[in-house]
Amino acid sequence: MITRKKFLALSSLGAVSLLFPNFLFSKSFKRTHIIDVDAALKEAASLRRVGKFEEAKKIYDDILAGYPGEVRAYDGLRKIILSGGQQEDVIKLLGEAVKINPENADIKQRLYREYFNAAMGNKKLAGTLGIEGRVLVEVKEKYASFLEGHSNHHNIAKQLEKITKFVEWNADTENPHTNAPLKKYRKDQYQYNKNRFNEYSSEQMSAKLGELLSKPNNDIRRPHIREMYQLTLKKYRKEKNTDVALEHAIKYYDTVNKQDPLFIKYIRDLAKYQKKYDTLIELEAQNHNIKKTFWSALALFDAYLRKAEDTHTPVPSELTALIPFLKDNTLAPTKKFELLTRLIKLDIITGQTDAAKNKIQEECRNMYGVSNAHTIDRLNVLAARYYVKTGNDDGKKKVVGIAVNPKSYLEDADDFVKSLAMMNLSRDSSKIVHLQNLQKLIDKL
C-alpha cells in the first residue's frame, strides 16, 4: 500500500504512474485505440471486482488515452485507489484530470465532491490540501463558481444549497453529535428518503422498478434495485396481493441475489401463507445446494415435512435422504435438539407413535432441570401432537395443566405424564405470555 508520505517522497514519474493514468504524465504516450468503450469498461469492472487491479488499471489507461474525458474510467480508477484507503490519491488523480479536461463538468463535480468529503470527514486529509482557512468554505466557493458556468446542472445547485447550510451550521468544525441543526437536517433527510414512495400505488412502484431494471445493471445501482424490489413487494403485501408479491420476491432471488436472507424470508413466508409447497421446496433445495449447512438442510427437511403433513401425502424419499447429512452435522447440543424435534414430528406424521413417545420421554429426562420455557414448550407441543395422533383428547388437554402445575402430576400412574411433569418442574413461569402461546399452539392441533 502506498501511503501519502511515500507518495510525496516518490520523485520518479514511473513510480507515480503506478497509481495514475500514464497519459497524464506524458504527451507522447500512445496506446491501442479502443473503439467500444462500454465493453472495455465492463471488462475492467469485472477484473476490478475480483481484485485484478493492475489488469483493470491498464484497460482504464487505454480508455483515457483515447478518451481523456471519459468520467467512468476515472470512477473505476477511483475505486482501485480507494481499495487501498488512499483518499488523497483520488484527489490528486481528479486534480490532474481537471487540468486536462478544464471544461468537463462531471470530472470537476467529482473533484469537488472529494474536497467536500475531506472537509466533512477526513480532517487530517483536509489539512494537507493547501487551503487556508476552512476547507468547507473553499468548497462552497468552488461550487458557486462552477455553477456560474453550468447553470443547467440542477444537481450542482442543490449541492451548493446543502453546502451553504453546512457552512452556516459549522458542520465541519463542531461535533456532529451535538450540532442541533445538522442532526435535524440528517433526521429530516432520513425520513424523506424513507417515506418518498408512501403515496405510490403498487402499480406505480412496479412501473418504477421496471424503469430501473431497464437500465444497465452496475454496482452503484444494485442497492437501489434491492430497495425498489423490497418497497414494491411491501406494497403488494399491504394490498393483500400476495401472489404478485411472491412473484417479485422470486424474480429478485432468481435474477439479482440468491443469497439475500431478506428475500429468502419473503419467499418462505409468502409460500407458506399461500400453501405453495412446491415453490417452498424449490427455494430450500436451491438454498441448500448453495450453502450445504445443517441449517439449510433442516429448512429443506421442514419444507418436505410441511407439505406431507398439510396435503396428507406420503413423506418423500428426498426427506429421508437428508437425515444422514443432518446427523453428521449435529455436534452442537442446539442442533441435536432441533433435529430430534423434527424426527419426533416425522414419527408422528408417519404413524410411528411408539417411536415418537419413546423419543419424547428420553428427551424429557435429558431436560430435567432446564428452565427455558420456550425450549420446554417445544416438547410440550410435540407431546400434545402425539396425543392427537393417538386420539387421546384428554391427554392433549392435560399438557397445559402439566406445564402450569407439574408437581400435581409427579405421582401419575402414566410414566409418559410423569416424564412431562419432571421436565416442566423447573420451567420458568415468570412470563404469562409463554403459557398463553402454549395454549394457542395446542388449541390449533
Which residue in 382, 393, 387 sits closest to 441, CA to CA?
382
Number of structural domains found in the chain: 3
Q: Are residues 65 and 170 both part of a single domain?
A: yes
Q: Are residues 230 and 188 both part of a single domain?
A: no
Q: Which three cell numbers stand for residue 122?
A: 477526513
Q: Are residues 207 and 135 both part of a single domain?
A: no
* Residue type (1 letter), 443: D
Residue with cell 435535524: 184
Range of the domain at 238: 202-274
Transcribe 179-200 into DSSP letters.
-HHHHHHHHHHHHHHHHTTTT-
Q: Are residues 125 and 243 both part of a single domain?
A: no
* Residue type (1 letter), 51: G
* Residue type (1 letter), 210: G
Q: Are residues 153 and 249 both part of a single domain?
A: no
Transcribe 287-350 into DSSP letters.
HHHHH--HHHHHHHHHHHHHHHHHHT-PPPHHHHHHHHHHHHT--SHHHHHHHHHHHHHHHHHT
Distance CA 91, CA 74 (A): 11
Distance CA 380, CA 374 (A): 10
322 falls within a domain: no
Q: Are residues 160 and 224 both part of a single domain?
A: no
pLDDT per position in the chain (445 positions), as tens? 444 443 433 333 333 344 555 555 444 344 455 568 999 999 999 999 899 999 999 999 999 999 999 999 999 999 999 988 788 899 999 999 999 998 888 898 899 888 888 888 877 777 777 777 888 898 899 888 888 877 777 788 888 999 999 999 999 889 989 999 999 999 999 999 999 999 999 999 999 999 999 987 767 789 999 999 999 999 999 999 999 999 999 999 999 999 999 999 999 999 999 999 999 999 999 999 999 999 999 999 999 999 999 999 999 999 999 999 999 999 999 999 999 999 999 999 999 999 999 999 999 999 999 999 999 999 999 999 999 999 999 999 999 999 999 999 999 999 999 999 999 999 999 999 999 999 999 999 9
* Confidence (pLDDT) at 22: 56
Q: Are residues 237 and 185 both part of a single domain?
A: no
Distance CA 251, CA 248 (A): 5
Contact 407, 425 (CB under 8 A): yes
Q: Are residues 344 and 223 both part of a single domain?
A: no
* Residue type (1 letter), 365: R
Q: Are residues 48 and 181 both part of a single domain?
A: yes
Q: Which three cell numbers stand for residue 338?
A: 432441533
Contact 252, 261 (CB under 8 A): no
Q: How many CA atoms lie within 13 A of 162 on its CB side?
A: 12
Helices (H), 22-102: 37-49, 53-66, 71-82, 87-100
CATH of the domain at 65: 1.25.40.10
Q: Are residues 59 and 162 both part of a single domain?
A: yes
Q: Which three cell numbers stand for residue 85?
A: 484507503
* Confidence (pLDDT) at 8: 39
Q: Are residues 162 and 122 both part of a single domain?
A: yes
Q: Are residues 90 and 171 both part of a single domain?
A: yes
Q: Which three cell numbers stand for residue 34?
A: 479502443
